[in-house]
Chains A and B, each alone.
Chain A
């Protein structure tokens, strides 16, 4: 659709990919095609049950698995079972109403990350002031891994990026926890109009985009940063046709929007002047109708929230997030979601429900790769890592250093547009190496956090044959059977046969490492 930011379209990438893959003798877009002696001999595959005495794992319900992967930070066998038993629509309804889900275990975990529920004024007096962004990042990862309100957490991440601020900036840092809690989390599945208003009046955004210090009184020219991003990124987008004059007018309308020392939004009339906006000519279809002061700005923001171009933009981004980015989402699904957004007065939950019911969503299984945050969270979920309060520092350091290395440290993106939601940005050669190393580290020493129990995954009684051990580990980690070819490669690496007895001195950790390194663990 017109006016969206340039998106790397898979169709256009395909020639390049094909050429590259041919060069490597790896075939085109087809799966393993038997070149280079890599063909896996299915006749020898215990996984398919062709030989006796080996585990055969039934195919899971693929639709359930898709929902479990795409609407959470990672599928687990128990989650898949839960969705299966409740039914997809009922489970989605429950997730869209997060307060109905008991998350008390999560609340207990959060107590280990001090400062994340403090206001700027409280943080000023707090010893954790300097590390609060790291604490918030670790708490956010903890929620992604252990919260039962998975869809809510995914949407928190969506809005956190849509309304990104860089919380490593000194002035923003103490303001971000309150922004996270009261602007974003409080409205995550509520009304977009409410989240937009809350964020626009949030001290962290007012600081990040320089509006807090902007003034239009007297000879002052107001800072137009916030005004521009409010329209370009947060709502209608550049293609809606606003002009540079409009940006200047909105900068005047927002002048005086600042916050008090205690960290609450205030309107300072002394810094405010309508400037050129005093003429009352429409901006993006909004008429001032004589409104002045803070009321004029609030009226404009309420107008922006319900503007059709805003609906299209939010719908488009939701489709990118939940359907895929290889191919631009179809105009029709974007229009359908945008219609739902407007018809429900910008309520997010019913808008999402329409998206999740669509054929486009259902047909998008496997088409989206995990970004680093999702990869790390999903891998911890897959490995059944449990939270250990005695290892909080290690967990915190792991979250911050690993995501930094993988290029997605939380709350640290410098630009107001948030992290890219596009596979080509994240699935890169360098990133895969880092992911493989991370997977191996999780498997082999549980990140030195003593949080991970491989014997629990193998269960009691443990499988007795090599092939069955691989299959059981894989099913626990991937919530579905390993791709048969991949299974064969892992088995091949063991120097053992599938029907050999699993000896007590064998070490299952490298097997787990391979499974966590496998392509299936990259899929969202």
Chain B
């Protein structure tokens, strides 16, 4: 959906952070005001200002300063109407055959004597497919017409290495090891307007995912980190601190450092103190839930987030997946955690939920046959899920079956990029898809989007 840049009054202009900076003495902020504080008594003064995000007071009874009072534009936020893509990367090799079980295939039960989802326990999608019993929220979304599934999805190249397969599917330029930026970074950069919020994209994790590599989206495990600690009895006001940091990093010759620092400062100026205290609801306080909560909070606060990423790891069940009906089994517990977080995420989004489409992907699926440890080894195709706004519910794409395999693995019949491209084409800003997925000619869509 095309965005009208002028409608977004919240955005901070690129130079706003420096517009009040002057090179000389005019406009200097008081920096050292601690008259009467002896140099020898410096040690124990608590200095934390109230967190700008949570509003909780620090230990200091001293007057706190809000570094962001000048640039904040939050009061004038126009509610954004853009659609939002959330990419949830399920790391470790997501077992599509557990999540969405091919309940009509004898080979499934023959090769997975202890871990298959029994047809009777599966949450029925249709006569051929059933969801894992742990996926009740996703089943409810399907019932509401908001969940599509693409089994036999993945990268067409066979690569059973977690690390190169993850990098390759996030860089998304095929099997080549030649560098490119991540696919989301390319989408962002090729659809960028003259002025964008730094929070157009957000990575909910301390480490930037490869999909966003080459972008300047802030990635953090906690939105509370998007504030700067200042205050105490000596400091200049916050604007002086941000201004000084801004100037310091503008003069850096290392462009990565410079660019990310400027993005950080612009993020500070944008976020300001507008993120109200919010107690995470059930299932959104830890793990994936906490990540999705950060995203939901930004969206509900009116920031024009358009792309967000989150991760859930530990799907690498080489051993002890547990039976599909054992709620304490490893696979069951992890799927249940994912399901509960996703359900709570869309619930917390409220009326914004219709703007949000969440796509899951993984580096590969798992072998059809279980191993001697009650687990499964690295396979090929996995199952992608497309949930939320604009989704055309049901099981989509081509299914090659479990007898036509490669090395005992499900064949990839649906390139993961086809699914991602369809979501982008139907929901996001217009973009030349060849820029996002170079060298990939998108075949006909699988129909995950309405």
Binding site for B on A (CB under 8 A): 2-10, 12-14, 16-21, 23-32, 36-41, 209-210, 213-216, 219-225, 228, 232-233, 238, 244, 326, 366, 369, 404-408, 414-415, 417, 420, 423-434, 436-437, 440-441, 444-446, 450, 454-455, 483, 485-486, 489-490, 492-496, 504-510, 514, 517-519, 522-523
Contact = CB atoms under 8 A, between A and B. Distances in A.
B264 interface: yes
B206 A492 contact: no
Contacts, number: 316
A178 B205 CA distance: 31
Given A215-B372, A430-B206, A492-B25, 12 more contacts: A5-B167, A14-B255, A18-B255, A210-B373, A223-B371, A228-B378, A244-B160, A423-B256, A424-B214, A492-B23, A504-B38, A509-B42
B314 A414 contact: yes
Interface string B32-49: 101111111011111100
Interface string B376-396: 011000000000000000000
A26 B189 contact: no
A28, A423, A489 — most chain B CB neighbours (10 Å): A489
B256 A430 contact: no
A440 B229 contact: yes
Contact of A495 (B28, B36, B43): B28
A30 B250 CA distance: 10
Interface string B153-197: 000000111111001100100000111110001000100000000
B29 interface: yes
Contacts of A417: 162-163
A229 to B, nearest CB: 9
A415 B313 CA distance: 9
Given A428-B208, A432-B264, A6 B373 contact: no
B240 to A, nearest CB: 5
B267 interface: yes
A2 B176 CA distance: 10
A431 B206 contact: yes
A493 B220 contact: no
A373 B375 CA distance: 34
21 contacts: A6-B177, A12-B180, A37-B21, A41-B23, A221-B372, A223-B372, A223-B375, A238-B159, A404-B221, A407-B206, A407-B207, A425-B208, A427-B260, A450-B43, A485-B251, A493-B28, A493-B240, A495-B31, A505-B35, A505-B37, A510-B31
Nearest to A454: B42
B332 interface: no
Contact of A517 (B207, B245, B266): B245
B28 A492 contact: yes
B164 A405 contact: no
A369 B44 CA distance: 32
Contacts of B42: 454, 507-509
B29 A6 contact: no
A429 B263 contact: yes
A4 B163 CA distance: 11
B179 A486 contact: no
Contacts of A8: 179, 181, 213-214
B305 interface: no
A431 B206 CA distance: 7
Contacts of B252: 31, 519
B259 A21 contact: yes
B434 to A, nearest CB: 17
Interface string B77-115: 000000000000001100000000000000000000000
B88 to A, nearest CB: 16
Given A228-B378, A414-B314, A430-B218, A233 B261 contact: no
A6, A233, A496 — most chain B CB neighbours (10 Å): A6
A18 B241 CA distance: 26
B34 A507 contact: yes
A420 B233 CA distance: 40
A3, A232, A492 — most chain B CB neighbours (10 Å): A492
Given A9-B179, A436-B228, A437-B225, A489 B248 contact: yes
A6 B179 contact: yes
Nearest to A10: B256
A32 B264 contact: no
A420 B236 CA distance: 37
A506 B32 contact: yes
A210, A420, A428, A445 — most chain B CB neighbours (10 Å): A428
B345 interface: no
Given A38-B23, A430-B226, A432-B261, A223 B31 contact: no
Contacts of A5: 163-164, 167, 177
Contacts of B206: 405-408, 430-431, 434
A217 to B, nearest CB: 9
Contacts of B18: 25, 36-38
Nearest to A37: B23
Nearest to A417: B163
B171 A407 contact: no
A290 B34 CA distance: 80
B450 to A, nearest CB: 34
B22 interface: yes
B222 interface: yes
A223 B377 contact: yes
Given A38-B21, A223-B372, A522-B257, A445 B32 contact: no
B289 interface: no
A446 B35 CA distance: 22
A518 B248 contact: yes
B253 interface: yes
B225 A486 contact: no
Contacts of A492: 23, 25, 28, 244, 247
B244 A13 contact: no
B30 interface: yes
Interface in B1-27: 14-15, 18, 21-25
A472 B180 CA distance: 43
Contacts of B163: 5, 232-233, 415, 417
Contacts of A440: 229-230
B244 A493 contact: yes
Nearest to B232: A444
Nearest to B208: A428
Contacts of B233: 507
Contacts of A446: 43
Contact of A483 (B251, B263, B372, B375): B251
A455 B39 contact: yes
Contacts of B234: 507, 509-510
Contacts of B371: 221-224
B331 interface: no
A2 B254 CA distance: 27
B335 interface: no
A216 B371 CA distance: 10
Contacts of B260: 427-429, 431-432
B32 A496 contact: yes
Contacts of A426: 207
A7 B256 contact: no
B419 interface: no
A445 B44 contact: yes
Contacts of B407: 244
B399 interface: no
Contacts of B32: 494-496, 506-507, 510
